[in-house]
Amino acid sequence: MRTATKQKIYLIVGPTASGKTAVSIDIAERMNAEIISADSIQVYKRLDIGSAKPSLEERRGIPHHLMDFVDIADTSYNVSAYREKAFECIRNIAERGKNPLIVGGTGLYVNSLVFPLNFSEAEPDFERREALLALEQTERGVLHGMLQKIDPETAQRLHINDTKRIIRAIEVFEQTGVPLSAHGGDFANRREAEIEFEPVMAAITMDRAELYSRIEKRIDLMLEQGLVYEVDSIINDGFDSSLPALQGLGYKQLIMFRRGEIGFDEAVELIKRDTRRFAKRQISWFKRDKRIRWFDADKYGEELSSAVFDYFNGKDIGEFEP
């Protein structure tokens, strides 16, 4: 029996500051596509400069979805909610006769679309873990109290001093929207299911020194564009600095600066250092998926968009290992 052809989805992934946005808009124009963001900070309203959201001018009329639609104060938004909305967008775009083009560097978001994801295997978020640990150190038992609200069954099972497991339980809930105690049975066997769409994935990379230089220049530009004032506006409106939305690179460090915990120069250096480390982790993350075809921006130069476009259209352009 012949099975129906799956809807193709096209993805452009890779490290921060590698040029994904410009390439994606060029390609979207050429292949009648609409863009779906796969960026865990761009989803939030008001986080514009620090998340490098493309301006309306930069978007050149290409519709962008799942960007700038979640309130900063929303603590319930997670990868499960993203997956549901992204699938809805993909179906709607396809029904209009256009191609869905997913663009971003948040590995969990991407994986939720291209794997029959077992959410009980939520990936570790080390930055969030550090923030939770710091919170526990300021007020003993606060994490157990948090867990009691979202997953009372697991909270009852774990001792108040079992900080490591408590943090993991909170992490699973924040990423999936489902408490750790509910993972299991049919839910845990989703990896056996087929994925709904057929992914065609491209990743952009470049010489590591060049990538790091681009990262530092982009951070300098963000500061020139008013990133500090963007942070000030958020602080002045009374938002809690422990909110998940404000753990993003740039926001976290500048909030520390405004609190007087570190100086401005130190904050900037921390942003640059942490962003370089983040880019390195992104490359390692995406290298694990052998379906991704990598494109060296240094090699292709001005022909990069054309090369990715040709690949999306089925042209064999050889292999490249980042």
As a whole number, mean pLDDT of residues 39-61 equals 96
The pLDDT score that the predictor gives to residue 176 is: 67
pLDDT for residue 99:
98
* pLDDT exceeds 80 at position 185: no
pLDDT by residue (tens digit) across 4-25?
688 999 999 999 999 999 999 9
| Pairwise CA distance, residues 180 & 237, whole Å | 34
The domains of the chain, with CATH numbers, are 8-115+195-312 (3.40.50.300), 126-188 (1.10.20.140)
Query: pLDDT-derived band of residue 177, with 50, 70 and 90 as boundaries?
Result: low
* pLDDT tier, 191 (very low <50, low <70, confident <90, very high otherwise): very low
Q: pLDDT band for position 122 (50/70/90)?
A: low
What's the average model confidence in pLDDT over 288-298? 93
pLDDT at res. 188: 36
At 192, the pLDDT band (50, 70, 90 cuts) reads: very low
Mean pLDDT of 124-148: 85
pLDDT at 123 over 90: no
Answer yes or no: is pLDDT of 65 > 50. Answer: yes
What secondary structure, in 3-state letters, does the chain show? CCCCCCCEEEEEECCCCCCHHHHHHHHHHHCCEEEEECCCCCCECCCCCCCCCCCHHHHCCCCEECCCCECCCCCCCCHHHHHHHHHHHHHHHHHCCCEEEEECCCHHHHHHHHCCCCHHHCCCCHHHHHHHHHHHHHCCCHHHHHHHHHCHHHHHHCCCCCHHHHHHHHHHHHHHCCCHHHCCHHHHCHHHCCCCCEEEEEEEECCHHHHHHHHHHHHHHHHHHCHHHHHHHHHHCCCCCCCHHHHCCCHHHHHHHHCCCCCHHHHHHHHHHHHHHHHHHHHHHHHCCCCCEEEEHHHHHHHHHHHHHHHHCCCCCCCCCC
Residue 187: what pLDDT? Answer: 35
Q: How far apart are CA 85 and CA 61, in angstroms?
A: 22
Least confident of 155-169, 181-195, 223-237, 268-282: 181-195
Whether the predicted pLDDT of 130 surpasses 90:
no
**Considering only 77-81, 146-150, 191-195, which range has the smallest mean pLDDT?**
191-195
Mean pLDDT along residues 147-166 = 89
pLDDT tens for 208-253 read: 999 999 999 999 999 999 999 999 999 999 999 989 999 999 999 9
The first and second tokens of residue 17, run together, are 């500051």
Q: Which residue has the higher pLDDT, 293 or 5?
A: 293
Residue 46 has pLDDT above 80, yes or no: yes
